[in-house]
Chain A
Amino acid sequence: MKDIIISLVTVFGVLGVAMTIASGLIWLERRLLGLWQDRYGPNRVGPFGLLQVLADMIKVFTKEDWIPPFADKPVFIIAPAIIVVTVLMSFAVIPYAPALEVIDLNIGLLFFLGMSSLGVYSVTLAGWASDSKYSLLGGLRAAAQMLSYEVFMGLSVMGVVMLSGSFSLRAIVEAQKSLWFFIPQFVGFVVFFIAGIAETHRLPFDLPEAESELVAGFHSEYSGMKFGMFFVGEYLGITLISAMITTLFFGGWLGPVLPPVVWFLVKTFVFICLFILLRASLPRPRYDQLMAYGWKALLPLSLLNLLVTGGILLVR
């Protein structure tokens, strides 16, 4: 009984914290973009504009939730839920601290990769069900981009798996006690980071949305809270990828003095800020450039990384 209560508390705690972070990120992103563009961002509602999140939430909940008459209704409704569910599922396998984890799967990393693959369904189905040209183009782009970047995402973490000898994220963190993996696996880290941006389709890889050419891409036809769900999913995705980078390459909860959870949150926060900094600074590439960059640069790089890591491990 006690175990059930503890795990229930953990599950809902993680859920609550993840959702809070995701909605807080909306504020953080706007403030940070403002900071880097020499302006303020939202600073009126509450202290430092923190209550802007609340105002936005009230707004998005009271907006008209319109389903286009030409849309494929069931798929149209379920698509935004998929992305939130799949991303939230991945949070279950991340170890936040030595004793704070929803479940320690021995295939945790594979579970994460599988869930991020399922996330493709959300954007593709959203683009398909909207039955509009822009949405369909966005959905197509999302499908191709996310599927191809998933390949190197998987390959780039294999070096980490080889070094730690386990797919369990807890074992991976514990294997980094002497040396964080971003030093021996620097190439893997870079490839994983870039693939992570493409997976969450954030700028500069936000071609599925591409406001300048596709209106809003796959969520052109969405409104109200369904649109909000895509946004929450995107911010959850940023948090997830940042947490994964922390876990896989930057020693998870490991660190001196401060308690483990704080270390984990600090490291994750730094990567979230890096995500936003990339958005503030880089322009969007052309679609063929994106695909060519993935297949011609990142795939060989991650394969080479795999080969070298394997060779060194074999020699040792």
Chain B
Amino acid sequence: MLSLLRTIWAVFLHAFRKRATILYPEERPPIPPRWRGRIILSRDPDGAERCVACYLCAVACPVDCISLQATEDEHGRRYPEFFRINFSRCIFCGFCEEACPTYAIQLTPDFEMCEFDRQNLVYEKEDLLISGPGKYHEYDFYKVAGLATGKKDKGEAENEEPPVDVRGLMP
């Protein structure tokens, strides 16, 4: 019986506590930078698209909400012809970000993407592409990859040796 009274008193004292609610639209909750929110496609530090249209994100996606078509430019550099994410399907698991070999696809701390029309949740490449490098400021895939592009040849990337002449006899 006494414990009941103590309970009632303890609950009553909560009237003078600070409230835990964050009044959302006026007051913003602090969101961690690694929050898995709206998906974006980032660019290299020099402004070119990072995405190489390898399809790994589309394969990793458990709900198949990413669709894209690869194509090549005149230097043989791959890029997506279209890149489409259906956010009405997306579950924001972040597997696409984990799968991406070029840090192109990234999840951002933005969750306010409600729409009245479901069709508006299908984001095309121009909706997804941002102008900056996202979370990885310095990274440039083509500067570290041993791939010949229009700007550089094989063996000219950072931390890379020139290709070995397999027919040469020198050690």
Contact = CB atoms under 8 A, between A and B. Distances in A.
Contact of A38 (B4, B8, B12, B19): B19
Interface in B9-46: 10-12, 14-15, 17-21, 23
B7 A35 contact: no
B14 A35 contact: yes
Contacts of B14: 35-38
A228 B161 CA distance: 80
Nearest to B9: A281
Interface in A238-283: 277-278, 280-282
A42 to B, nearest CB: 12
B19 to A, nearest CB: 5
A39 interface: yes
Nearest to A41: B21
Interface residues of A, number: 12
A282 B20 CA distance: 21
A61 interface: no
Interface residues of B, number: 14
A270 to B, nearest CB: 12
B11 A39 contact: no
Contacts of A66: none
B20 A38 contact: yes
B141 to A, nearest CB: 48
A38 B7 contact: no
A40 B23 contact: yes
A39 B10 contact: no
Give the residue among A36, A37, A281 with the most B Cβ atoms within 10 A: A281
Contacts of B23: 40
A32 to B, nearest CB: 8
B19 A39 contact: yes
12 contacts: A36-B15, A38-B17, A38-B18, A38-B20, A39-B20, A39-B21, A40-B23, A281-B7, A281-B10, A281-B11, A282-B7, A282-B8
Interface of A: 34-40, 277-278, 280-282
